[in-house]
Copies of this chain bind each other. A is one copy, B any other.
Amino acid sequence: MVKQRKETNGVMRKTVNTAHQEPETERRILQSAEKVFYRQGYDGARMQEIADEAGINKALLHYYFRSKERLFDAVFSDAVMRLVPPVFAVMNSNSPLMDKVRAFVDAYFNTVVNNPFLPGFVVHEMHRNPSRFSEIIRASRLLMLDGLQHQLDLGAESGELIAMPAEQFMLNLLSLCAFPFVAAGAMQSVSGKNDSDYQHLLEERRQFIPQWMARMVERDASSNQQC
């Protein structure tokens, strides 16, 4: 009785096999891993699936990235670095508060519209292993709320703004931006909207969020009444 096995499942990609093309292949692996990890999460992802997606063999995955853990690390820190810095960098500038908000929303939506699974992925994997994430953030020295708090305090003193902790302000902004993406799958399936309807809803939010944020914090909110 001969034991026989075939692990490569049916898909049978066009095997290009042009040897000596290392960087091209590595990039393709990362892209495929991204796709699979984003959708399935670490635990749900299968190395075989990533290999298939990249049109290569499982062993090659281990040749480039020694283990699932390492491959995941590469994908995850890449994801975080792509999402977090451009978005939070604007909060450390010294532009007026509402300019910051507009810049934040724009940066967030620009990044995320092209990677709609990214927020959900990051949130879930942070939950699975919070320290991994905080390491990355700490290393990149982002998200200092001191400047923002100072700005809010000044506005409150001058009577222009309502007093508010910077943390709450930031959490509001992030909630309004991120949650609709994090919960997109659910929202769609409940509301019965199709993909492009929901896309439209999100575009609408991109316009409104800065106005909403202004109305939440500005003492005289009558300047933002068209909505």
**Mask: chain A, 177-194; 1 = CB below 8 Å from B; 0 = not:** 011101111111111000
Docked Cα-Cα span, A124 to B127, in Å, equals: 11
A133 touches B172 (CB 8 A): no
Residue from B123, B182, B216 in contact with A215 in the complex, judged by beta carbons closer than 8 Å: B216
B128 touches A44 (CB 8 A): yes
B221 touches A130 (CB 8 A): no
Closest to A43 in B: B43
CB within 8 Å of B: which A173-211 residues: 174-176, 178-180, 182-191, 201, 204-205, 208
Closest to A176 in B: B175
CB within 8 Å of B: which A141-194 residues: 143, 162-165, 167-168, 171-172, 174-176, 178-180, 182-191
Docked Cα-Cα span, A215 to B44, in Å, equals: 42
Q: How many copies does the complex hold?
A: 2
Docked Cα-Cα span, A113 to B190, in Å, equals: 24
Docked Cα-Cα span, A166 to B158, in Å, equals: 35
Docked Cα-Cα span, A188 to B188, in Å, equals: 29
Residues of chain B contacted by A182 (CB below 8 angstroms)? 123, 179, 182
List 10 extra interface pairs beyond A127-B184, A134-B189, A179-B179, CB under 8 A.
A123-B123, A124-B127, A126-B183, A130-B185, A133-B189, A137-B190, A162-B225, A178-B179, A179-B182, A219-B225
Q: List 11 A–B pairs whose Cβ atoms lie within 8 Å, in order of A's numbering.
A: A120-B127, A123-B183, A124-B127, A126-B189, A130-B185, A131-B189, A133-B189, A143-B190, A171-B180, A171-B205, A179-B182
